[in-house]
Amino acid sequence: MKQVHKPWGGRFTEATDAFVEAFTASIEFDKRLADYDIMGSIAHAKMLNRIGILNDREKDGIVQGLNVIRQKISDGDFVWSIGLEDVHMNIEAQLTRDIGEAGKKLHTGRSRNDQVATDIRLFLRDQIDEIRTWIAQLQTALIDLAEREADTIMPGFTHLQVAQPITFGHHMLAWNEMLSRDYERLGDCRKRVNVMPLGSAALAGTPYPLDRTYVSELLGFEQPSLNSLDAVSDRDFAIEFCAAAGIIMMHLSRFSEELILWTSAQFGFIDLPDAFCTGSSIMPQKKNPDVPELIRGKSGRVYGHLFALLTLMKSQPLAYNKDNQEDKEPLFDTVDTLVNSLRAFAGMMPHVQPRREAMRESARKGYATATDLADYLVGKGLAFRDAHEVVGKAVQLGIAGSRDLSELGLQELQALSGIIEADVYQVLTLEGSVAARDLPGGTAPRRVREAARLAREKLNGGRK
């Protein structure tokens, strides 16, 4: 490997070992930060000009030179060197080759330590904004589906056993609520990401009269960091993001599990669009829910990255350590995995087709209106525990004759409790059971539509 001059090489008497040079280089992955590195450098150059360290000609040359490099990188014409280790030194070395001495002045008052911390924060801020856009798009699809299927009855489950009848729309809005919290959680995380480390230098600040507030404003940060040691060395903002990403992937994994179950022959509740499924190389009849299955699997990948970053940081003394080079690959992969998973879900959900009759028939099989019968008896004056026992006997009677509660005769029911009247059948039907829960947040179709309307207003109401 050809040795290149290191910007830090003045005190060294021998070249870096070729293996060590490759082992310690980060350019293969941190070049992804190039645009953010250039953004930070342009802002830093403008500030150096503002405080008199760069004259106008030098500042203009640096800005122009960095923009030329940015275009070369965008066009794929930039030559990256492992010998120059990372994105920062590659760009700085090329700038100096292109514009001469002024390029050597750009690094005044900063270190790669505060430079990379700034790059990562700029990168992550943009990624959070994109991820929130995908979450909102998925929420829109779920709300649309909820409105369309507000009357579609399905069984609600606990312990994967039929519990009470609900509607498919109500179920979709439960998913929406989870995503709404995910959206807000990322917004909270963004506040702590949006703090500018630049000007902290290596660890102790700098004697130059840097105008950090000016740079912060140029880069759109909320404020400069308050402690130089902390600013260059901690990655808790990235860990917090990965934790939020892990929660989102947990939610997507739960959604995926239900979609996978619902598409199976044993459930048959929905059809997924062909464009999001694959077939079998040997079984011609198969339609496999590969997208939900893959997202379910990718959740573990994101969990692993969270633990990798926690482990990375757990024993580091202040301030910066080379360990932190290992923060980028887990962070980048978390971002990519999350964006792609949300994108897949947002594209798939508008085309999900509920099989209404199959869901309704399934709700009839598990004595889903038993709780409604107990509530009916309580309304007639019976204590709930006594009502619970009466309904348990009614279920036994239904099981013995392979009949639903709504198929039991009035005399049979009255033999269990004399307070039962003919109006009992209003709550023993699936429609009656669903409609009876007519409180805000309930399963009554009008309440589902109302909840969907409120969810859409929240989504489109300029939330931050």
Over the stretch 348-397, which tens digit does the pLDDT of each residue have?
Answer: 999 999 999 999 999 988 899 999 999 999 999 999 999 999 999 999 99
Share of residues in the chain with pLDDT > 70 (%): 96
Per-residue pLDDT band for 284 (boundaries 50, 70, 90) equals confident
Helix (H) / strand (E) containing 64: helix 56-75
Per-residue pLDDT band for 10 (boundaries 50, 70, 90) equals low
Over the stretch 295-340, which tens digit does the pLDDT of each residue have?
Answer: 999 999 999 999 999 999 999 999 999 989 989 999 999 999 999 9
Active site residues: 159, 280
Contacts for 319-327 with beta carbons within 8 Å, 24 or more apart?
319/113, 319/202, 319/203, 319/228, 319/229, 319/232, 319/233, 320/113, 320/202, 320/203, 320/232, 320/233, 321/233, 322/24, 324/116, 324/233, 324/235, 325/24, 325/26, 327/120, 327/235, 327/238
Q: Given this model, what pLDDT does residue 19 score?
A: 73
At 176, which amino acid appears? N
Over the stretch 125-176, which tens digit does the pLDDT of each residue have?
Answer: 999 999 999 999 999 999 999 999 999 999 999 999 999 999 999 999 999 9
Per-residue pLDDT band for 29 (boundaries 50, 70, 90) equals confident
Over the stretch 216-266, which tens digit does the pLDDT of each residue have?
Answer: 999 999 999 999 999 999 999 999 999 999 999 999 999 999 999 999 999
Q: Work out the average pLDDT over 173-189.
A: 98
Q: Do the strands 195-196 and 153-158 form a parallel or antiparallel pair, or are they unpaired?
A: unpaired
Tokens representing residue 318 in the block: 């202040």
Q: Work out the average pLDDT over 437-464.
A: 90
Q: Given this model, what pLDDT does residue 271 score?
A: 96
Q: Which residues pair with 195 in a beta bridge?
A: 223
Q: Given this model, what pLDDT does residue 1 score?
A: 44
The mean pLDDT of the chain is 94
Q: Could you count the other beta carbons within 10 Å of the beta carbon of residue 436?
A: 17
Over the stretch 447-456, which tens digit does the pLDDT of each residue have?
Answer: 999 999 999 9
> Cβ(215)–Cβ(196) under 8 Å?
yes
pTM, 2 dp: 0.92
> Cβ(187)–Cβ(464) under 8 Å?
yes
Report the distance separating Cα 87 and Cα 32, nearest Å: 8
Q: Which residues pair with 10 in a beta bridge?
A: none
Predicted confidence (pLDDT) at residue 9 exceeds the cutoff of 80:
no
